[in-house]
Amino acid sequence: MDIFKKCYTYTIANELREKGIYPYFHALETRQDVEVVMEGKRRIMLGSNNYLGLTTNPEVLEAGLDALKQYGTGCSGSRFLNGTLRLHLQLEEELAAFLNKTGCTTFSTGFQSNLGIISAIVGHGDYVICDKENHASIYDGCKLSYGRMLTYAHSNMEELEIQLQKVPESAGCLIVTDGVFSMGGDIAKLPEIVQLARKYGARVMVDDAHGLGVVGEGGRGTASHFGLESEVDLIMGTFSKSLASLGGYLVADATVVDFVRHNSRPFIFSASMPPANAAVALAALRYIRSHPEIVKRLSELSQYMRGNLKSRGVPIIESTTPIIPIYTYTFENTLLKARALYDAGVYVNPVLPPATAPDMCLIRTSYMATLTEALLDEAADIFASVLVEARE
């Protein structure tokens, strides 16, 4: 049988294109900002992970340009060989200090970070236990490891304990959870997870891709939010969200970080972050450190928009983060509503199976600290016209 048969019989994308509700690959014609031009029309951007709006910050932009001029466009090698810049070391040193850990290493992407950390730490005979709503990169990191993966229902601590009880005393065990869950916007039950980890001798890893810059003291993330920085063993995050760049990182005890550096195949066999990416991430980190008020502003705007949507009868899922999901329930209704919002001038993200149950599809909206109340009022009116008035 031709291995390409699956490609030629895959029809769903074309079917959605023909219906005019295909939601992906809309082309930006301007930079990532609170208002963008997409396919020739102005849209309010409520589908970005640029939580602090730093992709357009003058200090951050200048740092990227300076690095490009000084170091060129790329490193053309792995960190082991010719790919370590002083910039990488500065970024790692300052990020470790910011997150109150003794060690840090960076990866070329956030997805690669989870692949590289989990597969290095979890070996033959070990167990890794995951929340079922963890990011896909965590699942793939577990697959790449040689350990056994167990899962528990989302934030269900009773199920987590049942899975922990299955781990032999002779086996190592790592519990992995998102800090802020990217689709629902809810925060992991980290105090309970840490307590269970202590009880059963497990270690804890938090994927804080959506937590850094969003929650915690000065944006230090989920562990800081709960005052558990010393209790969380591994913290992974990305540079592509609050830090306005591209790449990922691990912070942990320096000895553990050194082990990962020398045993992580995705780290060893990948080219390092380009100079401009590292410089931008470092500049964004320094900006957050010196402007903690931007994190508070993000929280205030998110709360303002929650009130806006609820007052207009829009059916949101409650959260305390800048991720506000809106119920749209069915697959086709979600795509129809996302298209209607797009045409009306608001860009959002439709969330479909397998990321949700078939009858619990969502529109995911996310917010930036650089938005204004006026833009949020305009967007809320559009949401009401598309999601409430049309239904009535």
- For domain 292-317+327-392, give its CATH number from 2.60.40.10, 3.40.50.720, 3.60.21.10, 3.90.1150.10: 3.90.1150.10
Q: Which of 105-109, 213-217, 384-388 has the lowest mean pLDDT?
A: 384-388
DSSP assignment string, 188-214: --HHHHHHHHHHHT-EEEEE-TTTTTT
pLDDT range class, residue 22, cuts 50, 70, 90: very high
- Predicted pLDDT at 356: 82
Overall average pLDDT of the 256-274 stretch: 97
pLDDT at 36 over 80: yes
Architecture label for domain 58-290 = 3-Layer(aba) Sandwich (3.40)
- Predicted pLDDT at 220: 98
Q: How far is CA 97 from CA 101, 107, 113, 118, 254, in A?
A: 6, 18, 19, 23, 12
- Predicted pLDDT at 68: 97
Instruction: Express each pLDDT in 242-256 by its tens digit.
Output: 999 999 999 999 999
pLDDT range class, residue 392, cuts 50, 70, 90: low
Q: State the virtual CA torsion across 226, 232, 238, 239 in degrees, nearest 10.
A: 70
Q: Which residue has the tokens 């640029």?
A: 50
d(CA 279, CA 359): 44
The count of other CB atoms within 10 Å of the CB of residue 228 is 16
pLDDT at 389 over 80: no
Overall average pLDDT of the 353-370 stretch: 91
d(CA 34, CA 46): 8
Q: Where in the chain is the domain with CATH 3.90.1150.10?
A: 292-317+327-392
Q: Where in the chain is the domain with CATH 3.40.640.10?
A: 58-290
